[in-house]
Structures are given as C-alpha cells and as structure tokens.
Amino acid sequence: MAETLTKLAYQTFQQGKSYFGLAHKTLSTQLMNFLAPDAKQGTEPLSPALLGLIQQRLNDLIDRDWLDAEQGVYPTHLLFDNPWEDFFRFYPFVWLDMPTIWGRAAEKRYQDFSTDIRTEGYPSYYVQNFHHQTDGYLSETSANLYDLQVEILFNGTADAMRRRTLLPLKRGLEVFNLPDHQTRVLDVACGTGRTLRQIQGMLPDTSLYGVDLSPAYLRKANQLLADVPGALPQLIQANAESIPFLNDYFHGIVSVFLFHELPPEVRQTVIEESFRVLQPGGVFVICDSIQLSDSPELAPAMRNFPTMFHEPYYRHYTTDDLADRLEKAGFMSVQTEVHFMSKYWIARKAA
C-alpha cells in the first residue's frame, strides 16, 4: 500500500512538473510571437501525432525511473529531489531575461557577453551563448537559471534522464568489487552538479569528482552538493580536452549533455582523455541528445532545437557515430539506449 502511494505521489509530482513546463513554454511562445516574431524564424510546427509520440516517450521514461527506484538501483527519495528554493527564487528572472534573449536571437548575436565577464583563456567554441544563455556559461546568473531552464525545456524530466546513467554506472562499478570509499567516479562537464547529486544519493560513500570549464557553475555545484549526506565531491575547473588526473585513475566516468556542444574533433579528444583516466575494466556512460538514426520520426523536433536554442554543433552531432569514436579510442562492448529525448552510450575499457 505504501509503495503504491509513493508511486502515485511520484507520478503526480512528475505530472505537475510537466504541466508547469508546458504552461511556461506555451505562454512564452505566445509572447515571443507577439513581441519578437523574428526570434523564432526557421522553426517548423510539430504535428499532433508527433506531440503524442513525445508524450508517450515521456510517460515511458517516468515508468522506467520509478522501476529503477523500486528495484533498489537508487533510493526513492531521489525521485522527489528538486531545488524548489532555487526554482521559486529564480523563476521571475527567467521571464526578466527573455526580452534580452529574444533580441540576441533575432539579431544572431551569439557571442555577446557582459563587459565584466572574462572570456580569455577559454576555447573559442565555448565562448558562445549556448541556449541563448545570457553570458553563456560564465556568469552567476546563468548558473542560477540553468537547472530551472533545462527542466522547463524537458517538461520536468531532466533529472529522470540524468538518472538513466545510474544503473549502467552502478553495474559497471560492481566488477571491481571494492568498498564504496575506495571507488572513484568522475563527472566530465559536471555543470551545476545535478548528476553528481544523483550519484551521491545512490552511492554516498563513493569518492566523486567533477570537472567543468565554468567557475560560476562549479560554485553553484558546491552549493547544490553541500547538503547531501556523504563525502563532498571534489570539483576542479578544467578543460575536458585535458583532464587533470593520472592515467587509469577512475573506476567510472559519466558525462551528461556535453557532446552535442562540442565540435567533432573535440568530441574525439574528450573521449580519448576519458579513456586515458579510466581504469582497465572501468565503465564510461555518456548521456546526450537523441540522434537521427535512432529516432528519425523526431527529426522535426531535432531540426527545431538548434534553431531555437543556438546549438552550433548540434546538427553534426545528430549524425555523428559516437560508438565508432569510442571504439577508435580503445573502448569495447559499446551499448546504446534511448530514453525520451536522450541517448546513452555505455562503454568499457578492456580489463
């Protein structure tokens, strides 16, 4: 009975987040069409049949998320973990930032940064307003708004998609048969720390590490992770093209929503760096956007995404063979999964 009530509570919780995301996008689209019609140029409407398919995949994701918690992959409290204080505090700023976003989008000003933002020292491909984020990934405001904006984008399922990395990671770590405190896991491009928070909830005694280019996002990650029981993850500002750890150091590596924001040659470099720092027998789990070969019926949504959200490397990513890239780097036994709007690669380094 308690289990049934928990499942019902979770479904209601997710449905509420989904409705919130839909309501926000509907209202903001109507306002954009009225106030800044040029900001949406080049997009195509989605058919009712396609919208129905997307909703069915969303429902399947929620069912899978509940099943993994029910089977003990991770505790059920993770299903309800949401930064409500941040959401209520920063949601008004999402609206206040929209006119600025629409103006940049209409005028295609993709490298605009505030005068107090330092952009030197970063790779050129990174100095962009990805998602039309004001100041890209380099400001405190961007870091405060990011998780809320991604949840709105995915109708409240961003964490559920992140959690699809937990089962293959947990299974991959079991081959070492080590105590949790001797196990090391790295999150490449950890951002605000949402994925690390999920891993920390599942494996509280595991030694967790995160690297990211943005000092602002790392500061946000420290805030997000400080109140979770267990060891505090070690966060380092670094480029994933040169991960600052010794060879064969980690037992598991994850990377979430990174590869579609990298130029093709950089994707290969990051994969090779991940291979270098992973122990023989270790597991590498990538979560990113769906690709055309897996979901051709969702092609209209994929075509809209880079137009609406300024993702300059996304179109190439949708046809890029990451399994081949992983194998070229030395990974073996590459498997893939698709859940809702995300695709997953699970790869091992030979023991």
Q: What order do you get walking across the sheet with 250-256 strand by strand?
A: 234-237, 207-212, 184-188, 250-256, 278-289, 342-349, 331-339
- The CATH number corresponding to 1-82+150-351 among 3.40.50.150, 3.40.640.10, 3.30.70.260, 2.40.50.140 equals 3.40.50.150
Q: β-strands 331-339, 184-188: how paired?
A: unpaired
Q: β-strands 342-349, 278-289: how paired?
A: antiparallel
| Dihedral angle over CA of 75, 169, 81, 67, nearest 10 | -50
As to burial, measured by CB atoms within 10 angstroms (0-12 exposed, 13-18 middle, 19+ buried), residue 225 is buried
- Residues whose CB falls within 8 Å of the CB of residue 118, separated by 6 or more in sequence, listed in order: 138
Percent of the chain exceeding pLDDT 90 equals 76
d(CA 150, CA 218): 17
Answer whether residue 233 shows pLDDT above 80.
yes
**pTM score, two decimals?**
0.94
**Which two three-digit tokens encode residue 111?**
């490298």
- A 10 A CB-CB count for 264 gives 12
Q: Average pLDDT, stretch 116-132?
A: 94
pLDDT value at residue 102: 86
Cβ atoms of residues 250 and 225 within 8 Å: no
Answer whether residue 132 shows pLDDT above 80.
yes
Q: Average pLDDT, stretch 131-141?
A: 94
pLDDT value at residue 182: 96
Percent of the chain exceeding pLDDT 70 equals 96
Work out the pLDDT band at 3, boundaries 50, 70, 90: confident
Answer whether residue 34 shows pLDDT above 70.
no
d(CA 225, CA 223): 6
The sign of the CA dihedral 54, 261, 271, 176 is: negative
Rg (CA), the chain: 20
The better pLDDT of the pair 288, 38 is held by 288
- Residues whose CB falls within 8 Å of the CB of residue 183, separated by 6 or more in sequence, listed in order: 173, 176, 203, 206, 207, 251, 252
| Domain range summary for the chain, segments of one domain joined by + | 1-82+150-351
The sign of the CA dihedral 323, 329, 184, 255 is: negative
